[in-house]
Amino acid sequence: MKKIIVAIDGFSSCGKSTIAKELAREAGYIYVDTGAMYRAVSLFCIQNGWMTETEINPEELEKHIQSIRIEFKTNAEGKSETYLNGKNVENEIRTLEVANGASRVSTLGFVRRELVHQQQLMGLEKGIVMDGRDIGTVVFPEAELKIFLTASPEIRAKRRLDEMAFNGESVDYNEVFDNVKERDDRDLNRDESPLRKAEDAVVIDNSFLTREEQREILRTLFAEKTLE
């Protein structure tokens, strides 16, 4: 079977990373979590005092964007973890503060251009599954398989709340729901690479799908593309 590029786009908290990781593991492909890359940039800004809840200092970030090195390494359990300049930041980037900041830094053209460049380099030899907001439209418009994942904002907020509770973070549902809606608005309306469904993407609304139902849909689509 030929190697292909799988691009999975969609709204926040749709489970893009989960299904992308599973597909990559089953196929023996490389998995790249682009959302984690923007979260890492957000964390870098927060650590350096360039971003607060209301403001961001794009000038300082642009000066140092070339010094940001993001990698993905597989841990002993076979799970991919995010490293920022050599440090494991997988847990740090999963907070609500960092997630909100990621949506903000992703609107900056110089940030997107730098990370898109890094992402395209990762996919030169194919055999890659990448998820994000603009993978099928900007990063890999030539991807053989494009998926656009969606779900209702209420369900996505509940999923995000459960994930954060599992990680020991106590937050209010309404706060999480408002954050989901705010991120949707930013993703859809930003000037640089807004969230859009690629014309040839397959739409999957997983609001009421089980994990296994999602897996079967993806397995079928993936098999069809690799056998073409």
SS3 184: helix
Side chain identity, residue 89: V
CA distance 102 to 183: 9
Q: Phi and psi at residue 178, in whole multiples of 5°?
A: -60, -40
Domains defined for the chain, CATH in brackets: 5-226 (3.40.50.300)
Model confidence over 67-120: pLDDT tens digits?
999 988 878 887 888 999 999 999 999 998 998 899 899 889 999 999 999 899
Model confidence over 124-178: pLDDT tens digits?
989 999 998 899 999 999 999 999 999 999 999 999 999 888 888 888 999 999 9
In this prediction the pTM is: 0.80
SS3 206: coil
SS3 30: strand
> 82 with 40: CB under 8 angstroms?
yes
Lowest mean pLDDT among 57-61, 88-92, 186-190, 196-200: 186-190
Length reported for the chain: 228
